[in-house]
Amino acid sequence: MTETITISVDAMGGDNAPRAVIHGAALALRERKNTRFIFHGRQEQIAPLLEEFPDLKGACEVRHCEMVIASDEKPSQALRKGKGTSSMWMSIQAVKDGEADVAISGGNTGALMAMATFCLRPMEGISRPGIAAIWPTLRTDIIVLDMGATIGADARQLVDYAILGSALARALFDQSSPTVGLLNVGTEEVKGLESIKEAGKILSAASGSGFTYHGFVEGDDLGKGTVDVIVTEGFVGNVALKTAEGTARQVASYLRSALKANLMSRIGALFASSALNALRRKMDPRTVNGGVFLGLNGIVIKSHGGTDEIGYKSALGLSYEMARSRLIDKIGEGMQRFPVAAVTAPDSSEPEAKPA
């Protein structure tokens, strides 16, 4: 008998919640029949939507939460206000209590990270959790982190992310020793900030402990898929993610305009419709929606707040796969192979070099 995966959902998180959330869950259920949902939010808004999706209604539970965290609330304020009462907090609490395998929210990213860290606590040996994204490339999908959890990570945190990202690659892609690269301004060892160079030395010495260290990679390697895991700090990672999403939309817009430019273009588009549809799906950011919070004693997924039901379906599918692949166990195995707690971070009093 197939094991049931239970997903705890902040039904009120996101610009289009709860409709997009509920509709996305209905779409996800069609593909993975052994999924059960716990929806946290305002019952008077959720219940009518479930009437539209009878199959989903029979595979879920609704837990009323009146408190909803606003998208513009500061993490500290949201934590004080919503701890123990908000739909966001309760979705995470269900994971801590063992009622759900994974939690997901499209709400305020900072608030979600604060609540997840406070409720689930970081794993032993992990200094700070990170946010990982599945990144489509010319070669295959890869893992990129951090996507914004920590701004200005030091060497110790970058090493943490390498361990966490390689564990995610093993869980998601079934790779025994994924390749890891540090995002830098050049591939030469003398380039970059001191924190990146120090992290490179540590990872080079530990290569083979559940991952293979490739060395420094540059921005264009994000699209090439040069390595399986690319590690960076949160500011750069978040900018790279938003730039890639914007570029995908820009190229798609250019393509649509070109195909409608004249009669011959429209005729050509008609004959190439199958290939164009495949390209459109490949470039659609909604199909790779969902950031994984790594380094916590439980799995939390962050959906893009502005996405629609297609995006939520993708994020829920990612949630399912993370729970099914036993991500937490694989991270624990990676920690045993390479005990991060034994890593000595560089002296913070040393000045950082400017990028070359």
Domain 127-290+335-356 homologous superfamily, CATH: Isopropylmalate Dehydrogenase (3.40.718.10)
The band of 339, judged by pLDDT with boundaries at 50, 70 and 90, is low
Whether residue 228 contacts residue 132, with contact meaning beta carbons closer than 8 Å, is answered with no
3-state secondary structure labels for all residues of 46-61: HHHHHCCCHHHHCCEE
The band of 261, judged by pLDDT with boundaries at 50, 70 and 90, is confident
Specify the range with the lowest mean pLDDT, choosing from 60-69, 131-140, 321-330, 345-354: 345-354
Q: For residue 352, what pLDDT is reported? A: 41
Q: How distant, in Å, are the alpha carbons of 250, 259, 276, 284 from that of 270?
A: 22, 9, 9, 20
Domain 1-120 homologous superfamily, CATH: Isopropylmalate Dehydrogenase (3.40.718.10)
Mean pLDDT confidence for 166-172: 85
The CA dihedral of 92, 97, 98, 100, to the nearest 10 degrees, is: -30
Report pLDDT digits (tens) over 62-103.
Answer: 999 999 999 889 999 999 988 999 999 999 999 999 999 999
Domains 1-120 and 127-290+335-356 share a fold: yes
What's phi and psi for 86, nearest 5 deg? -80, 160
Residue-range domain boundaries for the chain: 1-120, 127-290+335-356
